[in-house]
Amino acid sequence: MVLLVLLLLVLFPLKLCKTHTIKCRGHGPHRPYHMSHHSGDFILGGISSHGGFMHTSIEFKENVVPKHYQHILALVFAVKEINENSDILPNHTLGFYVYDSHFNAKWTYYSTMLLISTGKRFVPNYVCDTQNNLAAVIGGLDSTVSIDIANILESYKIPQLVYGSAPVMNDKASGLFFYQMAPKEAIQCAGILSLLLHFRWTWIGVLVLDDDRGERFLQIIVALFSKRGICFALKEKFSKVLSFEDLTDVFKDGARISDEIMDSKANVIVCYGESLSMVYLLWVPFLSLKDARPLRGKVWLMTAQMDLTAYTLQKDWSVEIIHGALSFTIHSINVPQFKTFVESRNPLTAKEDNFIQHFWEQAFHCVFPDPTVEIGMGDICTGKEKLENLPGTFFENTMTGHSYNIYNAIHAVAHALHAMVSPERNVPFFSFNTKFTLTLAFSCIQLHHFLRDVSFNNSLGDKISFDQDGQLVGGYDVINWVVYENQSFYRVKVGKVDPKGHADQAFSINESAITWNTLFNQTHPLSVCSESCLPGYSKKVKEGEPFCCYDCISCPEGKISDQEDMNDCTECEPEKYSSKKQDLCLNKTVNFLSFQESLGLSLACSSISFSFITALVLGVFMKHHDTPIVKANNRDLTYALLIALILCFLCAFLFIGQPQKVTCLLRHAAFGIIFTVAISCVLAKTITVVLAFMANKPGSRMRKWVGKKLTNFTVLSCCLFQAGICTVWLITSPPFPNIDVHSITEEIVLECNEGSLTMFYSVLGYMGFLAIASFIVAFFGRKLPDSFNEAKYITFSMLVFCSVWLTFIPNYLSTKGKYMVAVEIFSILASSAGLLSCIFLPKCYIIVLMPKLNSKEQLIRRKL
Ligand SMILES: *[C@@H]1O[C@H](CO)[C@@H](O)[C@H](O)[C@H]1NC(C)=O
Ligand SMILES: *[C@@H]1O[C@H](CO)[C@@H](O)[C@H](O)[C@H]1NC(C)=O
Ligand SMILES: *[C@@H]1O[C@H](CO)[C@@H](O)[C@H](O)[C@H]1NC(C)=O
Ligand SMILES: *[C@@H]1O[C@H](CO)[C@@H](O)[C@H](O)[C@H]1NC(C)=O
Ligand SMILES: *[C@@H]1O[C@H](CO)[C@@H](O)[C@H](O)[C@H]1NC(C)=O
Ligand SMILES: *[C@@H]1O[C@H](CO)[C@@H](O)[C@H](O)[C@H]1NC(C)=O
């Protein structure tokens, strides 16, 4: 401990107090406004930013910001509340001094020095008063003011609670004496991002104050927002009006920026500024370099430190421009008693209050009679003017974010002091009540310790505590500004960012509670560079422009995009296909020839009818088995052919229905063999006819014998050969059921894979070979004289047969799915029906209708 004391002695050499009066030169008799209530055990210092921005070389004219008077009242109110509350600092009272910074470095330094001197005497750099109990300074609305205060307070290690914008502190160590009554700015940036993403505002303008903080904010959001797909239509900096001389430049620049904003397609403008920045916003409608400017609705998105204030000269200005704007604000609740307290303030009674008269004069445009001046100009203030009648830009009797911060800052200091002096914390050397001269330095360092750990619920239930960086732990509210026709405005809370919640729930907004600017006709405003691409289209970035500006191009064939604004189109899964609009993948329908549909059904019906007709023909033939016409040309062959034809018709059934393992396997083998049987029967018949002619003695034994043997041999060998091919096929590469998802876009084809196309065409080819052989033989035999000469019918039937199967191949190859199968069935039926009708119809005709012709006599007569 001793070491620490020595160290501090080295660091802060104390000087003996000398009486020393210093005049603040250059300002004549003008004193900073102050207000004091200094009879406390602990003194709080307050630096307000109440007055004035215009200095001209000719006169010192102040144009105060009346609204900031409320900040002073919040301080007074909070101190009063604590002193009246026996739970906090029960045996101690708080006092305070408040000085004005005038938004000006000179006055800020002077005021801060006055605070440290804590008295009427201004004695910088001396500690004169052993009872100097300045505990903390509440101060700094704008960052420049705060940093000026900090520069001085740092040497004294007096805690500073910044209620407005905290300056950019690069040096971590100095940050320790610094408490920021606003939550981390990163939370606000994340909140703005969430808000933009929520409304899909991807094309925005940014307007920042031209200082360190603005620069840093711009850097942060450009990096953060670009990553999430937000582009910047414009990034502008605006400067503060620091002096009268700047005015023209600032306005010229303002006019340019305001034109740029109004011309831009970006409807959302993020404004990052300080307490007074909205003053400039009120100028926007008047600033333009153009003659006529179209009025466009904009959504102003303002950051927490901006408050709707106005200079006195703007008293009756329209605040229409902020109608529908959204603001991030420091979470604040109105303290109910504050309104009564504020309304009870009166310039005639509040004698200790050096600010109120000036505020009153400026706000109500009147003057208090000054005994030293002969006649006052303008109206005389009566003191009966009502604060409620002031426009909201001048005064609000409810707490604003900044006042609430002051209120909480004072409570935080009080709680820290309370903890420090409470008897349980018996830290002897640092005891506050000691008369030791080092009290100031020690108490302040000690107070830091307690301030850092302070954590309490304020009278409204808000939890107040600081994180390790000295920033308030908390979130931001999102408010919507609503302006009525009578220029009164309201803040409507529409959302919040609560970092304590889950990351995805941190931001919430109630869209239906938002009132948009009237120019948007109460529809959700858009702020995009390009209209969003509909589903079915994908974005294509325009060359040389930010990625938010793009063209929409429709998806290529087979690809879809199912949401708006897709970067790429995606391909559908194999079992799905893209819809016509290319915004959906649809399930493909299953495609196979089934009995349920008319095509399958009609083919099945024809197949049955044909086989029935064939059976009928067979019946007729068997009934008339003794007639010459049946007996001619080998009756057994005729029966075999008819039975084969019945089977041919029936084998169509193997092709209808969902392909199964068995049906696939049997399909072509059965079809091949049955047809081979039929054609070989035809071939055998043809050979019989030819042989009959060649054997010159009709009815001779040899003819009969040779004929029978040869025909049986022909039929058997032909069939065995085909059976051989089929066996090889089934063994080497058997057909199997297959699901083909590719060949038809919208359908899944259930089919039989032939296994080996070579074998398939071999089977067909062999049949073709037999048919052509029959045709050739029959062709040569067609003119042979025989009254039951079948050769010409066979020629004709083979012609039909061959033409059916020749046309089959190109049709088969050009169709897909069930139509392919249908073509095959049709060919089967057509060729079989061709055989049936060409060979058997004429005979049936004779047998049934012309039985007279069916006789031996006729046979012989014809032969002659
Ligand atoms: C306040 O002072 C009274 C009387 O001097 C004393 O009894 C009481 O303990 C003190 N309270 C605190 C919290 O110091
Ligand atoms: C503050 O309020 C919360 C509930 O709102 C409560 O859980 C907590 O204990 C309170 N803290 C203190 C210090 O009173
Ligand atoms: C302004 O108008 C609103 C609604 O029309 C009303 O609620 C409010 O009291 C008015 N304010 C003043 C100051 O007349
Ligand atoms: C949102 O705002 C509307 C209109 O003010 C209100 O009726 C509704 O209850 C709010 N919804 C939520 C979840 O707060
Ligand atoms: C709002 O309505 C007016 C008149 O109906 C129309 O001229 C204007 O374009 C609309 N504005 C928007 C943003 O839709
Ligand atoms: C597509 O098929 C899947 C799986 O068979 C099924 O779950 C889904 O409901 C179908 N979708 C439509 C639109 O029919």
Domain 6-182+400-427 CATH assignment equals 3.40.50.2300? yes
The Cα–Cα gap between 246 and 300 comes to 25
Domain boundaries, the chain: 6-182+400-427, 185-303+308-332+474-520, 537-587, 598-859
State residue 88's pLDDT score: 86
pLDDT for 637 beyond 80: yes
3-state secondary structure of 682: helix
Q: Residue 432: what pLDDT?
A: 46
The whole-number average pLDDT for the span 751-777 is 89
Separation of CA 422 and ligand 1 centre (Å): 10
> Using a 6 Å cutoff on CB, does residue 463 contact ligand 2?
yes
Q: Which of 51-55, 147-151, 167-171, 204-208 has the lowest mean pLDDT?
A: 51-55
Statement: residue 600 has pLDDT above 60: yes
**Confidence band of 482 (pLDDT split at 50, 70, 90):** very high
Task: Convert the pLDDT of each residue in 13-36 to its tens digit.
Answer: 333 333 333 333 323 233 445 566
What is the position in ligand 5's atom list of the atom closest to the CA of 520? 13
Q: What fold, for 598-859?
A: Rhopdopsin 7-helix transmembrane proteins (1.20.1070)
Q: Which ligand is nearest to the CA of 509?
A: 4
Instruction: Decide: residue 651, CB within 10 A, 0-12 exposed, 13-18 middle, 19+ buried.
Output: buried
With bands split at pLDDT 50, 70 and 90, how would you rate the model's confidence at 604? very high
Give the span between the Cα atoms of 6 and 475, in whole angstroms. Answer: 42
Give the pLDDT of residue 559. Answer: 87
Q: How confident is the model at residue 10 (pLDDT cuts 50, 70, 90)?
A: very low
Q: Which residues pair with 299 in a beta bridge?
A: 268
Of how many residues is the chain composed?
864
Instruction: Dump the DSSP string for 578-614.
Output: E-TTSS-EEEPEEE---TTSHHHHHHHHHHHHHHHHH
Quote the pLDDT of residue 131.
Answer: 47
**Residue 246 pLDDT exceeds 70:** yes
Return the higher-pLDDT residue of 443 and 191: 191
Closest-CA residue, ligand 1 atom 1, reads 91
Residues 6+ apart with CB under 8 A from 441: 8, 12, 156, 157
> What pLDDT does residue 326 have?
93
Give the mean pLDDT of 560-588. Answer: 86
Measured CA to CA, the distance from residue 148 to residue 634 in angstroms comes to 127
Question: Which range in 221-235, 369-383, 384-398, 558-572 is most confidently predicted, on average pLDDT?
Answer: 221-235
Q: Give me the pLDDT at residue 53, please.
A: 46
Q: Is 658 in the pocket of ligand 3 (CB under 6 A)?
A: no
Atom of ligand 1 nearest to the CA of 423: 14
Average pLDDT of every residue of the chain: 80
Residue with tokens 């920042």: 208
pLDDT at 155 over 70: yes
Q: Tell me the per-residue pLDDT of 113-149, one tens digit each, with 9 for 90 and over.
A: 877 775 555 555 555 544 456 788 888 788 888 888 8
For residue 294 and ligand 2, the question of a CB distance below 6 A is answered with no
Alpha-carbon distances, residue 17 vs 24, 43, 130, 131, 157 (angstroms): 20, 20, 11, 13, 20
Evaluate if residue 702 carries a pLDDT over 50. Answer: yes
Cα of 457 from ligand 2 centre, angstroms: 6
What is the band of 695 on the pLDDT scale with cuts at 50, 70, 90? low
Q: Which pLDDT value is given to residue 205?
A: 93
pLDDT surpassing 50 at residue 705: yes
Alpha-carbon distances, residue 212 vs 47, 172, 271, 535, 557 (angstroms): 22, 16, 15, 44, 53
Q: What is the pLDDT of residue 158?
A: 83
- Establish whether residue 484 lines the binding site of ligand 3, counting it when its CB lies within 6 angstroms of any ligand atom: yes
Q: What is the DSSP letter of 265?
A: S
Decide if pLDDT at 6 tops 50. no
Per-residue pLDDT, averaged over 223-240, amounts to 90
Percent of the chain topping pLDDT 90: 18
- 91 CA distance to ligand 1 centroid (A)? 6
Residue 487 φ/ψ region, left for φ over 0, alpha for ψ in the -120 to 50 degree band, beta for the rest: left
Q: Give distance in angstroms: CA of 587 to centre of ligand 6.
A: 6
pLDDT at 4 over 80: no
Show Cβ contacts of residue 377 under 8 Å, excluding neighbours closer than 6 positions.
367
pTM beyond cutoff 0.75: no
pLDDT reported for residue 849:
84
pLDDT, position 51: 62
**What average pLDDT does this structure show over 357-367?**
82
Compute the distance from residue 813 Cα to the ligand 2 centre, in Å. Answer: 82
Could you tell me if the CB of 386 is within 6 A of ligand 3? no
Is-same-fold flag (6-182+400-427; 185-303+308-332+474-520)? yes
The answer to whether 678 and 797 are in contact (CB under 8 A) is: no
Ligand nearest to the CA of 485: 3
pLDDT at position 35 is 63
pLDDT number for residue 378: 67
Among 303-312, 415-424, 745-754, whose mean pLDDT is lowest?
415-424
What CATH number labels 185-303+308-332+474-520?
3.40.50.2300
pLDDT of residue 24: 30
Q: Which residues line ligand 1 (CB under 6 A)?
A: 90-91, 423
Flag whether pLDDT at 664 surpasses 60: yes
Residue 291: its pLDDT value, please?
Answer: 75
pLDDT at 575: 83
pLDDT value of residue 789: 67
- Does residue 125 come out as left (phi exceeding 0), alpha (psi in the -120 to 50 range) or beta? left
Distance (angstroms) between ligand 5 centre and the Cα of 813 equals 61
Arithmetic mean of pLDDT, 709-735: 90
